[in-house]
Structure formats: C-alpha cells, structure tokens
Chain A
Amino acid sequence: MKSKKTNNIKIQYLHDCILIQNQILVIGDIHIGYDEHFDGRAIFPGMQLDEIIDKLNGIFSYLKSRDILIKKIILLGDVKHDFGQISDIEWRETLQFLDFLKKNSEEVVVIRGNHDTILEPILYKRDIKLRDFYKLKINGKNICFLHGNKLFKQCLDKQTAYLFFGHLHPAIVLEDPYKSEKFKCFLEGTWKNKQVFVLPSFSSWSYGYEITEPNDRKFFVIDHKTLLSFNVILYDSREQIPYNFGKVKNFR
C-alpha cells in the first residue's frame, strides 16, 4: 500500500475509496436504487446492493488483515439514485446499507448529493444527520468533505488545507492504435491553494464521465480548465497499487 504523507496527514488510495490516517474511509457516489429505475419496477432488485456490500466487505477484510480499524466512514453524497418518491424496496435497501456501514465503523457521516432529495427521513431512522459539507481537524489542518454540485464558503477559509469531492464520476480512456478501454480514476491537484481529491463513483453500474471532455452535462464547482492540470490516478485493485498517469491535459 503506497501512501502519501503531506504535513503529517496520511492519505492513501484504496480501491475506489480514500483512507485517511488509517482511520477514516471516504467513499464516493453510490447511487443505490439505480436498478430501481426500470419503469419504476425492478426486474432484479437487490442485485446492486449485494454487489456494493461484497465490494466493501473485501475492503474491510483487507484492512482487518492489516490491523486497521475504521472509526469513521464518510459518504460523499448521492447515496441514493432516485429523485422521486421512495419505494418500499429502496427504504429497505438503504437501511440495510446504513446498518452494514455502522457495523463496520463507529460513525457514519453522510453528505447531501444532488440525488439525495429524499434521503433525510431514512437517515433519521438511524440517527444520522444529512450534511451539506463536513469538516474535520487533523494535526492542526482543516479537511473539508463535500459533494461538488454546490460550494460553501466555510470550505474555502484559510485553515482548510484539503478538499474531498464526489459528484463528478471521473474516468479516463486509455488507448493505443488498436483499442481503447475506459477506467474510473481519481483526480488530484491544487485549487484555490488547497489540495483537492476527486473520487470516482463507487457504483459499478455507472459508466463514468470522460474527464478529458468539457463537462456540459452536470455542474461541478471546479472549472474544467483547472481540472486539466490535475493528476490522473488509476488503481490496480489486484496488487493494491495506485498509478499516477500524469496530468489530464496530457491525454488530450
């Protein structure tokens, strides 16, 4: 496991997540209920949740084998996919998911995403607050977690050294003359004097947005021009190694 020590704060890439100080697990957009989208009726409901839980179980047992215990899980928004009403299955699945997270850590923090218009009543059942952003202080530095569709001035103060975003679902296409394959990726760079990390979506169902293209499909707080100077990080989930592919603009 390679890690990055900046000002004594340990930040590591881990699958599609980020691990901070060996204690905090940050997870990107999950989009539970993506399969519910089929004419309002699921054909194979539950499949997606089973898969997400399997994937997280893999991560937790890997951490356990290294004696790492997670104290806090931070979800960067868009936990749920749907905008509209909540169906019975969705209620059940979301609760099941929250219970699973609580079993594996002391605290669960949930940030509001643009899809999470109706998440609050479910969270309320498990005493979890839905936040616009979340701030932490580690070794004298402020770290701020937010979704990425909206900016809050509290996140831009001088004491904040790190920003973590979801929302964008970054992905990159690698190609040689014969083929091309799309990979989900992390983005890492500097914006407004802060160190920024953008996480890929956690859901295996979503394709990802090709980061080299101008983003005209959804609003993200960091402009595309700035993103071009960010580094692209791909993760080898077999050998647990992150690869730095250099700047986004090199791919253009």
Chain B
Amino acid sequence: MKEDLTYPRAVVRKEKDVIGILDPLVKEWFFSKFPKFSESQLYGVMNIHERKNILISAGTGSGKTLTSFLSILNYLVQLAKKNELEEKIYCVYSSPLKALNNDIYVNLIRPLEEIYVLADKKNITLQKIRVGLRTGDTTVQEKAKMLKHPPHIFITTPESLAISLTTKKFIELFFGVEFIIIDEIHSLGNKRGVYLSISLERLEEISKITPVRVGLSATVAPLDEVANFLVGVDRECLIAEVENKKTIDLKVLTGVEDLIETNSYDIKSSLYHIIDELVQKHQTTVIFTNTRAATERVVNHLKEIFPENYLENIEVHHSSLSKDHRFKVEEKLRNGELKVVVSSTSLELGIDIGFIDLVILLGSPKSSARALQRIGRAGHKLHDISKGRFIVLDRDDLVESTILVKECVERKIDKIHIPKNCLDVLSQQIYGMCIQKTYNIDEMFLLIKKSYCYQHLKKEEFMSTISYLSGEYALEHRNVYAKIWYDKKTKQLGKKGKLARVIYFTNIGTIPEESFISVVSADQKIGVIDESFLEKMKPGDVFVLGGKKYQFMYTRGMKAYVKSGIKRNPTIPSWFSEQLPLSFESALEIQKFRKLINEKFEKKQTKKEIVKFIEEYTYVDGVVAEQIYLYFYEQYHYSQIPHSEKILIELYKGEKNYAIVHSLYGRRVNDTLSRVLGYLMGQMAGRDIEIGISDNGFYFAGEKLLLEEAMAVLQPTNIAEALEEAIAKTEILKRRFRHCAARSLMILRTYKGRIKTVGKQQMKSHFLLSAINKISKDFPILKEARREVLEDVMDVHNAQRVLQSIKDKKIKIQYHATKLPSPFALTLVLQGYSDLMRMEDKIEFMKRMHKEIIHEIEKNK
C-alpha cells in the first residue's frame, strides 16, 4: 500500500516574478496596501497562477487566505477587463465555518471593492466580479438569485457544497470550476473531511476543466498525508511549509508550591488569583478550558471572587451557545470591549477576534497541535509574540503540560487522524450521487476510490453498501425502505422515491446533533447535562451532578427524569463526556522524559543535578522543575518509575483485587487495551470486572483478575478480532451505531417536516441494532460503527504497536505487589471507573441476588 506518499516542497519564488504575473491594476492595489509580499504569498501565488495543486501550511496571521485569493482575483480582474467573464462559478471556497466571516471580508470583499474604486479612478471599465455565499442559512431568494447570475467566487461549507452538487440547476454552474480552496483543512480530520473528499471528486467529475486544489492549513502533521487528502489519489501536489516567524513565550504555572500537600480549596483559590493577576496585567486575554461546563465555572468564579474586576467585560464562547451570542462576543472582542473571554474549543478555529495579548490554558490541552493552535490566538499579526500560560491542576497535568511546552517550542506536532473507508458517509454520498444522476456502478466506484479516504475501499464493502441502500438486506420479498435502485444487468443505479431529494437535504451532515438537557427529579429541575453525556447513559445508570448521585430513568423531550437518594456507585464518571484524549505522540514524549529521569535516579544523581536537567531539557523554571522532581522522587522510592521501555503493573488488595497498569499511551490506546484485556479476563473467570481508564494508564478491579493469563493470550495479530467481540454488547457501540445509522440515513432525523428527538432516534437504533445483529454481522453500517469504535474512539493500530513492542521485548512488563497505590497511580484510581465488563450470566446474577434478598428478608423477620 502506498500510504506514505511524499510530495515535493514548494520553493519561495522571486518577488519580481510574482509581480510579473500581476495585472497592473491588481499590482497597484496590492502595493498600496502592503509594502511587500508575505512569505506565504511568495510560496503560493505563482504556483496557483500556474495551476498547480498546493497545500499551504502556515500559522495565523501569515496572510495565507489572501495568498489563495490573490492569483484568482488577478485572473478574474484580467477577464473582467477584457469583458470575458462567463456566467459560471470559477472558484469554490469551502470553509468549516458557517458564516461569511471577517476573514473573507478582509481578504476578498474589501480588496475587490478597493480594486473597483481604483479602476473607477483610472476610468477602466470592469465587469462585475460576484461573490456568493451558500450555507445552511442562505434563503431561497438568495439561491434563486445565484442561479440567475452565478457568483464567480462561491463560498460554502462542506454540507452546503454537497447539497449544491445534487441540485440540477446548481450543477450546471459547476461545469467550468477552475479553482477549489479548502480552508482550515487541519480541522477536517474527521467524518466531515471524509465527506468533503468525495464531494471534491464529484466536483472534479462535473467540471470540464480540472480545477486546481488549494489547501490552507494551520500547523499540522504529517503534511504529506494532508496533501494526499487534499488532492486525492494519483495527482500532483506541492507543499508550502511557511516558517512560523512568531516568537512564542510559554510558561507552566502551578500557583502553589506543593500540589499534593495543598488542599483542593486552596489550589482552586490560588488558581483564580493567578488568573486574575495575569488578566489584569494584559489588555485582552483568552482562557481555554477543556470542557464547556468548565468555561461557565471559570466565569462564575472570577465574577464572584473579583466583582470589581469582572462585570460587563467577561464573556464565554463555546459551541453550545447560540450563534447570535457567539457573534456578539466575537464582535465585542474585535472592538476591544472585552477584558477576557473563556472558551473551550470553539475559538481554536481561525475566527478573527482582534487583538489578544495573552492566552491562558487551564489544564493540559492534550496535544501539541491543539496547544499551538490555542496559543496562536495571541499576537495575531505575523511578527507579534504569542504569549501562553499553562496553569496546571494536578501533578500529572504538570508533567504533561511541561512536555507539551517542550514540543511546542521545538515544533513537534502530533499527527492528525483521518478516518478511512467510512461506510456511513459513503452511503450518504452514494445516495446524493444517485439523486444527482443515474450512474454506472463501475464509474461510481472508480470515482469514490480517487478520494484519499477511500483509495483502499474493497469492492465487497462498496457492494454491501449498495445492497443496504437498495433494500436487499430486508428479508426475502419484503423489499421495503430502499433508497436507490440498482440494475445488475445494465449496471445502472439511481434514486428511488419521490421524497429522495427532500430526505437528502433535510438529513445531510456528519456531525451528530448536540444540545443541553434539563435534569428533573420529582418535578424539580436539578441542573443541565450535555446531550452527549446523556447519550452515554441507559436507564438505570447512576451519575453525579452537583455532588449528588442520581439514577437516570427516562427522557421526555428535552428533559431527563432521574431518581435521587441512590446508594449505588456511579456507573458513569462525570468527566466522561467531553474529555479530550492525550495524543499518542505526546504520550510517547512523556514516556521518554520519564525514562531519562529514571536513569538519573538509577545513577544516584543529586536533587540539584536532576532539577537542573529538568530545567534544561524542558522549558520550565526552577520552582516547577523542583515540583516535577518531587513527584518522580516519591514514585521512584515508593515503587518504580514506569517509562517508554517498562510498563509497571501494580497489584494490590483493597475491598477487591486491583491491578493498576501504568501504560502512558493516551486514553484512546488505554481504552483499547483495557477493554480487550478486561473482556479476556472476564471470560476466563466468569465474573464482572470494573475498568477505569485515563491517559496515563488503566486499572481493573474484581474478585478474580487473571491478568497474566490474559496478557499471554493477547497478540498484535488477534487484538482487533478480540476487541470486536469485547465491544459487541457495549453502550459505546450502540451509541456509535446510532450516529452511523443517522449518517447513513437509516434513521431520519427529519422526515416530512417533523424533527425526531434524540431519544426517539435512540429507540429506533436500539431496535435496528438487534434486528441487524440477527441478519448479518457484516451489515455495512454495523461494520462502520465497529470501525468507528476501534479506530476513531479507540486506537487499535497504536495498541497493536504497543503489543508488538512487548512481544519483541522492547517493552518490559513489571508486576509489583503493593499495599497502597503508588503516587503515579493515585489520580488514576481516584478518577473512578468508566465501564463494567458484564461477564456474569444474567440468570446467574438473578439467582445470586435472590439468595441475598431472601437472606435479608429472613434476617428482618
């Protein structure tokens, strides 16, 4: 498999050459605004002019958006002068952001306006160059206007592009597309990106001219993979890696001198004092937290503790807030009306937010790419300084943030994960293609395989998706609910049903809907939870809200009904819903750091020597280095330091037997390993096993833990198969199946104008799943749900790598019996358990409970 293609790097072009291609009018406009070309313009403008595909990777403020538009504007102005502009779309620009954002205004609309003013002055007549926007919010009138006079530059989102590709009249406007710009391509390492990759191939098929593809990306890795994703299979591409000229100034702050001896109240209070101090010293600050709930908490605390400092000048910005609210906040930021904004992930994207001079990261951002993205929001202009402060919450966070700072400074970027062969996205696209026109099946298959995400798609998988869509999976002669028809003789396929187009338009998309749900107990509203959190629960589950335990019963509309006064342990930890996983690459960096420190201890180096090493190796100051030293010192002397070549497994007996596995590979790999090992142990012993996972490791608890036996069975070669068995009956598979069923349009979110609640979708999917399980294990959408769990939620490939290293004896497994969990194990165990491997037979459980209850009744007599 030619997975790891490398593409040639673009070189900086000579300034006079770039000037040479510019129309005099454009040239005059450009130099009236800018003294010279930016680096990314020297890389990009000529290449786009020469119609070469190019991926431009550059930090914020490097002028890459204008780079992509400059040669296109130049080309269109030349045509407009000669009165040769046609009634067609010349350029398709796709951005993940829904609104016509300020970036487009600054880099496209305003330049155009200024060029026209200039032309006017010089008495040059120019045809009108039109810019049109189509998103989910575009009105019917606006669309009709576009059909009459097509925009020359068409600005859209991946979803609206797909809809445009199935609208007959719109398709005609795409017959001569010459440029495609994909903005924020680094944020498309998900199903949205997979979806777009096929749309691009469809666009290419429709256009009689092969369009140039331009990708714009923030710092991302690996660049060659992203380039491949941009251009698809067997096409050339240049990569322009624009050096980041911004200086970064990063620091890790702990607030207290000793994170373990200080109680949590003091840590919290000192934390807010540090934040306030930093905010007051700067003009405008953005604070990033890792969860949406935390953003609200931070704002409330700041307002409470420092009422004189924060009133009108503080706002939250996260994806659950209404669009209007977010716009208002962005507007206020640009106008300099805010002192501080608290955000989760929503401000990471390249929305223009004006001048920011400080970014505070509350808790580790979990990956160097995300850290850089967040820090890059400070000092937006090219030569500004990006100032970032990491405020850590516990000792693992401290070590993690320290290593992330090192990676940021040294520009080590973790890898983007682009899902492949997603059969749910494929279903939606095939349906869209069938609505577009009648296809020949071989041609369709070839087109799809040109996408990077589907280049290895197997014919059987493609055909089974066709079978699902054409209703062949329904039981014999009960051929209902087919979405397409497929004629084996003529090899033709097309849409079925009068409502096809409407169903497609109203159900398209790849992002599962989310919102907030009120929690109600005995007619009283207790609080709100995230819908994604609710999704993780089934009736009977116990969770914590505001410090109290509740049992989830059922949902009605946007309300979740719960029972209070619960004795049982929570079955769902409260942090579960939004936790960002630590990236595998950063995890390995931390392991490497652990190994180096361990060597220093083995060599009996002094505290002074080790602290000095930490200061030199990372970029932290003496106080922080000492805290890190102390953490490792305790671990080394109490137990052992696990590192890149040693997985430590602590065994201890509390109420139950515990096995704590120190495998610092990030949550996704740990989820994989713990589930499959838990499943194997459970099968061997026939009893339930409790599992807890974190980025740093996982633990098991139960009556009988046959860990060594399970480790012996588990091989890099059989892990995928064993894992498929292990997840077969889990909630996570059911939930993912619901998402996949919605994406593949098995479950319609809207039908005949009625919107179906998530709860109803859940019920349908529950029903569907049990039916499908009886029909075929290989039903494409079930297969996709399994793939999603194994590869996107978990990380079976890197888990395989770990197992291979264990097998090759590159990683040693060390068992260590202990009376109490070691310092490294503490946070891990405290986080509570995330899942229970149900191994005990249901009827056996009933009998056991019967004995207990009868015993109880006898006792009370």
Note all chain A residues with C-beta closer than 8 A to B772.
Answer: 44
Contact A43 B480 (CB under 8 A): yes
Q: Which of B630-638, B676-684, B813-821, B849-857 contacts A (4 or more CB under 8 A)?
A: B849-857
Name A44's contact: one of B474, B539, B854 (CB within 8 Å): B474
Contact A44 B688 (CB under 8 A): no
Contact A43 B846 (CB under 8 A): no
Contact B857 A250 (CB under 8 A): yes
Note all chain A residues with C-beta closer than 8 A to B770.
Answer: 205
Note all chain A residues with C-beta closer than 8 A to B475.
Answer: 44-47
Say if the beta carbon of B281 comes within 8 Å of chain A. no
Within 8 A of B (CB), among A141-189: 173-183
Note all chain A residues with C-beta closer than 8 A to B775.
Answer: 44
Contact B568 A180 (CB under 8 A): yes
Q: Which of A17-25, A105-113, A191-199, A238-246 contacts B (4 or more CB under 8 A)?
A: A238-246
Least Cβ–Cβ distance between A245 and chain B, in angstroms: 6
Contact B563 A213 (CB under 8 A): yes
Contact A182 B539 (CB under 8 A): yes
Mask, A39-59, CB within 8 Å of B = 1, is 101111111000000000000
* With A178-B690, A183-B846: A44-B540 Cβ-Cβ less than 8 Å: no
Say if the beta carbon of B845 comes within 8 Å of chain A. yes
Mask, B336-376, CB within 8 Å of A = 1, is 00000000000000000000000000000000000000000
Instruction: Give bound CA distance, A237 to B841, whole Å.
Output: 13
Say if the beta carbon of B842 comes within 8 Å of chain A. yes
Name B751's contact: one of A39, A89, A176, A177 (CB within 8 Å): A39
Name A43's contact: one of B481, B836, B852 (CB within 8 Å): B481
Say if the beta carbon of B192 comes within 8 Å of chain A. no
Say if the beta carbon of A236 comes within 8 Å of chain B. yes
> What residue of chain A has the Cβ atom nearest to residue B567's Cβ?
A177
Contact A250 B847 (CB under 8 A): no
Say if the beta carbon of B34 comes within 8 Å of chain A. no
Instruction: Give bound CA distance, A41 to B746, whole Å.
Output: 12
Instruction: Give bound CA distance, A42 to B568, whole Å.
Output: 39
* With A177-B568, A182-B539: A41-B850 Cβ-Cβ less than 8 Å: no
Name A179's contact: one of B746, B748, B767, B838 (CB within 8 Å): B838
Contact B836 A179 (CB under 8 A): yes
Say if the beta carbon of A210 comes within 8 Å of chain B. yes
Instruction: Give bound CA distance, A62 to B847, whole Å.
Output: 22
Contact B845 A44 (CB under 8 A): no
Say if the beta carbon of B320 comes within 8 Å of chain A. no
Least Cβ–Cβ distance between B861 and chain A, in angstroms: 11
Say if the beta carbon of A234 comes within 8 Å of chain B. yes
Least Cβ–Cβ distance between B145 and chain A, in angstroms: 35
Within 8 A of B (CB), among A194-249: 205, 207, 210, 213, 234, 236-238, 243, 245-246
Contact A176 B767 (CB under 8 A): no
Name A41's contact: one of B473, B480, B540 (CB within 8 Å): B480
Least Cβ–Cβ distance between A248 and chain B, in angstroms: 12
Say if the beta carbon of B771 comes within 8 Å of chain A. yes
Within 8 A of A (CB), among B363-418: none
Say if the beta carbon of A16 comes within 8 Å of chain B. no
> What residue of chain A has the Cβ atom nearest to residue B856's Cβ?
A250
Contact B568 A175 (CB under 8 A): yes
Say if the beta carbon of A35 comes within 8 Å of chain B. yes
- List the 6 closest pairs (A to B, CB-CB), nearest first: A44-B771, A174-B849, A180-B540, A243-B850, A43-B481, A45-B478
Q: Using A174-B845, A177-B567 as known contacts, list a sample of 16 further A-B pairs with CB atoms less than 8 Å apart, ordered by residue number in A.
A: A34-B767, A39-B748, A42-B481, A43-B481, A44-B475, A45-B475, A45-B478, A175-B540, A175-B568, A179-B571, A179-B838, A182-B540, A210-B539, A243-B850, A246-B853, A250-B856
List 23 A-B residue pairs with CB atoms under 8 Å apart, sorted by A's residue number: A34-B767, A39-B748, A41-B480, A42-B478, A42-B481, A43-B746, A44-B475, A44-B775, A45-B480, A46-B475, A47-B475, A47-B771, A89-B478, A173-B540, A175-B540, A175-B568, A176-B849, A178-B836, A183-B846, A205-B767, A243-B850, A246-B853, A250-B857
Chain A residues proximal to chain B, CB less than 8 Å: 34-35, 38-39, 41-47, 89, 173-183, 205, 207, 210, 213, 234, 236-238, 243, 245-246, 250
Chain B residues proximal to chain A, CB less than 8 Å: 473-475, 478, 480-481, 539-540, 553, 563, 567-569, 571, 688, 690, 746, 748, 751, 764, 767-768, 770-772, 774-775, 836, 838, 842-843, 845-847, 849-850, 852-854, 856-857
